[in-house]
Structure 1
Amino acid sequence: MKNLILSILILIPVWALAQVEPIDSTSIAEVVAEPEIVAVDDAVIDTVDYLTMKNPIRASLYSAILPGMGQIYNKKWWKAPLVWGILGTGVGFIVHYNNQHKEFRGYYLDKLYGYELENPTLNNMSIEQLANIQDDRKRSRDYAIALTALAYVLNILDATVDAHLFGIKKDPDLSVKPSVIQNYKTSDMAMGFGVKYSF
């Protein structure tokens, strides 16, 4: 399991660096010269602000090295404590279940070799019951490791996507917001999402 986690942690930055496209000097000159402009019914809207764009590779590497730093780099300050809390909770569960696994492993081995246990409740348990408890704690620890690794990967993915979308200005004519919808047959109210586009 340790080798799998180590392999994943090594391959994520390599995968992120493999996504770099070669840049030629003419495309850089075009990007610096003028931002992309879209004309819509006599109104000119800048869709991308190249001066405030964030580098997705840098954001993903920041999050890979220190979780939450990619979110701070993208100026999404409120996401960093969430990342720290989720990963800290995952690490806490890993440590807790690992300690319980070691403790019940010791009880199991003591019972297997015929020693008396100090706790009368544990002393009355059979060897199979102690083995099942030990296996349950190990399984819980492994699930906690997998979920914490998933949260770590999602942290990197979130920082990368935020960096890609950072410079895009939001169109005020397009909005998606929650709304209350009434069923015309039964007059019941329900929550839903409404999409609004102004011309």
Structure 2
Amino acid sequence: MRFITSIISFFLLCICTVGLAQKSNQKKAAALFTDSSGVLIRTDTAIAKTINDSTQNLGDSINAKPKHDPHKATIRSAILPGLGQAYNREYWKIPIVAGAVAIPTATYFYNNKWYKKTRDAYNIVANGETDRYNEIDSKLKDPTTGEPLDAESLQYYRNQFRRDKDYSVLYLLIIWGLNVVDATVFGHLKDFDVSDNLTMNVQPSYIPATKTLGVGLALNLKTPQRKTLPSF
């Protein structure tokens, strides 16, 4: 009985020893990591390297300048004049655009107001509604007699104010369109290369076919040389 107990104890001891040894080997193996070049490095070093690479990539993505989109400038200036110029960061143009739009807008409301007054006054005088003369604006009456202007004069003023009102709408549409064109063109020129890599030379040339001299224009577009990274 003691012999069996001793054998069982011996086997249990061996199993425990082997288990502890395997656990120790797993810890040692877990502490090692193979990098891309096949060199074994420690796990904590690999984790630190991964974190540093991730942080660097995140910093590069944050510091990366977003690309300027001319389409956004077009849409914004079409919705509201001056908004596309603000997207292009040409803030000095916003007061100019606002003033250019405000002039025909104010002119439209002015002409529309007097068109309605002259229209109503003409209808009252043409229909002979003397009981409604008090509804006519004082500026459309003769200052000496206090009577309204004749129907022919009121018709002339009515037609003039209506024509000026239509012109105000036309001018507003033209200015609005120019505002969109300006935002679109300068949106495309925002990323235009104006560095020293662009060179233009004027040089004399000779034409063998006609045996005459001429002047040639040479535009040289230099592409920047890319630096090659050293191989490790």
Scaled by the length of structure 2, the TM-score of the pair is 0.50
User: 1:84 aligns to what?
Assistant: 98
Q: Which has the larger radius of gyration?
A: 2
Give the match's secondary structure for 1:144. helix
What's 1:114 paired with? 128
Contact 1:53–1:163, Cα closer than 8 Å, also in 2: no
Moved more, 53-62 or 145-154: 53-62
User: Alignment partner of 2:191: what SS?
Assistant: coil
Deviation (angstroms), 1:169: 3.1
Deviation track 1:52-108 (CA, whole Å, cap 9, x = no partner) reads 752111100000111101000001001111111111111100000000100101110
Correspondence for 1:152 = 176
Q: CA–CA distance in 2 between the matches of 1:125 and 1:102?
A: 16
* Count of residues paired in the alignment: 128
For CA contacts below 8 A with separation 6 or more, give which structure has more relative contact order.
Answer: 1
| C-alpha distance in 2 between matches for 1:60 and 1:128 | 47
4+ residue stretches of structure 1 with deviation over 3 A? 121-124, 171-175
**1:92 is aligned with what amino acid?**
A
What is the aligned partner in structure 2 of residue 66 from structure 1? 80
Q: CA 1:105/1:150 → structure 2, altered by over 3 Å: closer, same or farther?
A: same
In structure 2, distance between residues paired with 1:98 and 1:69: 28
Which residue pairs with 1:127 in the alignment? 151
For the 8 Å contact 1:97–1:140, the answer to whether it is kept is yes
CA-based RMSD: 2.6
Output the amino acid matched with 2:102.
G
Q: Percent identity?
A: 28
CA distance in 2, matches of 1:59, 1:171: 24
TM-score normalised by the chain length of structure 1 = 0.57
Once the two structures are TM-superposed, the CA of residue 138 in structure 1 deviates from its matched residue by: 0.3
| Paired residues of 1:53 and 1:166 also in contact (CA < 8 A) | no
Structure 2 residue runs without a partner (length 5+): 1-64, 135-140, 201-217, 221-232
Q: Which amino acid aligns with 1:100?
A: W
Q: What's the secondary structure of 2:149's corresponding residue? A: coil
